[in-house]
Amino acid sequence: MKKVVLSALILTTVTPLLAAAGPRQPLPSARLLNDRPAAGAKSVPSGPAALNGSLRDLAKALAYTLGDPASRRLIKQEAGKKFDGDFEVLYRDIANRRVGNERAFRQALGSSLEKATARPGAVAAPAKAQARLDSLTVSLPRLQIAVPVGFAQWDPEREAPLVTFVPEGIDDDELGQVEAFDAQGRSHMLDARIEPTVPVVVIGLSERTDENGYLQSDFVPRGSAAAKMMMEPMIDQPFEPYPSDPVDPGGDNPYEPAGGPVAPPTYLGPCDARTHNYADKEILYQIKINNDHEPWIKGDPEIYATYSFVDNQGIKGQYHMANVNNEGTWYTINGDLFYWQAYYGNTMIMAIWEKDGTNYGTFTYSHSGFTFTVSIFDGDDQLGSNPISFFDPICGYYSTGDSEYKMRYQAP
């Protein structure tokens, strides 16, 4: 969901300036195909309404398929590998896996799709249903199967879960109910804001891969050394000497190390009353999300922070936090952002976001009399923003309502 009225800066890192200047200088929808197979399958839908109709059919077919323990075991096993950090697996990665009787999973799902969409009295057409499934899934490389709730207690040997789908084109905050199916094909309406007490499998389009189904760099495991990249914000350049990645232009974004909340390092020391000095390192110390605007069917949120200096708008950056998953929990981040420099000015804007968008775009808007042109994913939810001053104390607490966070800085 994109907020129409933005109160803060949305910014993205750009290629770093390689020249030095003073102490601690800057360091260097899914595409849908027209389906016209000889087998007579229906056209692949385009547009949210048509796509949601197909996702609904797939959810009902998957519910039938998960009546089979072999298919349930496959989903439990592969989603449990958490290839993107959540209990999710891309359909294409399991489509040809065997699920008993020498059938591939795609064949089992194809048979179920015929059952789910058959009209009373119609002649069976298994080849047509299989062709429709294959055409649709090939054109949706981001198609995934997830178990966002009840994964730990789900016993695939004995329990066939409900199956629902993530509708496209609907604002997260406006999603009130979702339709789910059981293994007999019966429909159930679930509250989208209250987690069910039973396991639920969800089919939808991945938020953690690009349009081609490749894992975005935000969620690629990074070592501790890589997590401490970019000790300075990046400075806009008139040209881009390297290929630009829409998630990480220039390839220099810092990332939270894998592993979730960790103990703070000893180098931070106790808080004191002094204000910043130039060359101090700014640190995103801790964060707590109060409302991530993410319905349970989408699994864990994708949280990141952006910042930019009001007086020097070409200096900006972002920091991704792949393991900040639970509302109401303080996470220790210790994220190194930049070293303060005199020419940055005395005020920066810090904003917190939950990533929902998949298409990268440029947006222009105003904040406190300044006009900014920024690049973001077009559906991201803003969790609020704050000005952070050079004159703030060493231990700074900030709240946007939807999020709370603490800043620290360290002398060189």
Three-state DSSP class for residue 114:
helix
pLDDT of the residue at 315? 82
**Cβ count within 10 A of residue 238:** 4
Architecture label for domain 217-410: Sandwich (2.60)
pLDDT of the residue at 294? 80
DSSP string, 191-241: ESSS--SS-EEEEEE-SSB-TTSPBPGGGS---TTGGG--SS-EE--SS-S
Q: Which helix (H) or strand (E) covers residue 108, if one does?
A: helix 105-117
pLDDT of the residue at 32? 27
Interatomic CA distance for residues 378 and 224, integer angstroms: 30
The alpha carbon of 377 is separated from its chain's Cα centroid by a whole number of angstroms, namely 10
CB distance 293 to 1 below 8 Å: yes
pLDDT of the residue at 216? 75
Find the farthest-apart pair of alpha carbons in the chain and give their distance in angstroms, rounded.
80
The domain limits of the chain are: 48-205, 217-410
First CA to last CA distance, the chain: 40
pLDDT of the residue at 366? 53
Interatomic CA distance for residues 199 and 153, integer angstroms: 8
> Per-residue pLDDT for the chain (412 aa), expressed as one digit of tens each?
444 333 333 333 322 322 333 333 222 222 222 233 334 444 455 577 889 999 999 999 999 999 999 999 999 999 999 988 889 999 999 999 999 777 999 999 999 999 999 888 777 788 999 999 999 999 999 999 999 999 999 999 999 999 999 998 887 778 889 999 999 999 999 999 899 999 999 999 998 888 888 887 666 554 433 333 333 344 443 322 323 333 333 333 444 444 445 444 444 455 666 677 888 889 999 999 999 888 888 888 888 888 888 888 778 888 888 788 888 899 998 888 989 888 898 888 888 888 765 555 555 545 556 555 555 555 677 788 888 888 888 888 999 999 999 998 887 7
Taking the CA atoms of residue 4, residue 212, residue 301 and residue 59 in that order, the dihedral angle to the nearest 10 degrees is 100
> What does the buried/exposed string (b/e) look like for 258-286 if buried means 16 or more CB atoms within 10 Å of the residue's CB?
eeeeeeeeeeeeeeeeeebeeebbbbbbb
Interatomic CA distance for residues 112 and 272, integer angstroms: 65
Interatomic CA distance for residues 279 and 322, integer angstroms: 28
**Cβ count within 10 A of residue 177:** 11
Interatomic CA distance for residues 332 and 404, integer angstroms: 12
Against a cut of 0.85, is the pTM above it? no
Q: Which two tokens stand for residue 161?
A: 């879960």
Contacts of 122 (CB under 8 A, 6+ apart): none
Interatomic CA distance for residues 156 and 74, integer angstroms: 9
> What does the buried/exposed string (b/e) look like for 164-173 if buried means 16 or more CB atoms within 10 Å of the residue's CB?
bbbbbebebe
The alpha carbon of 157 is separated from its chain's Cα centroid by a whole number of angstroms, namely 31
Q: How is residue 275 annotated by DSSP? A: B
Beta strands 162-165 and 200-205 are parallel
| Ramachandran sector of residue 150 (left: φ over 0; alpha: ψ -120 to 50; beta: rest) | left
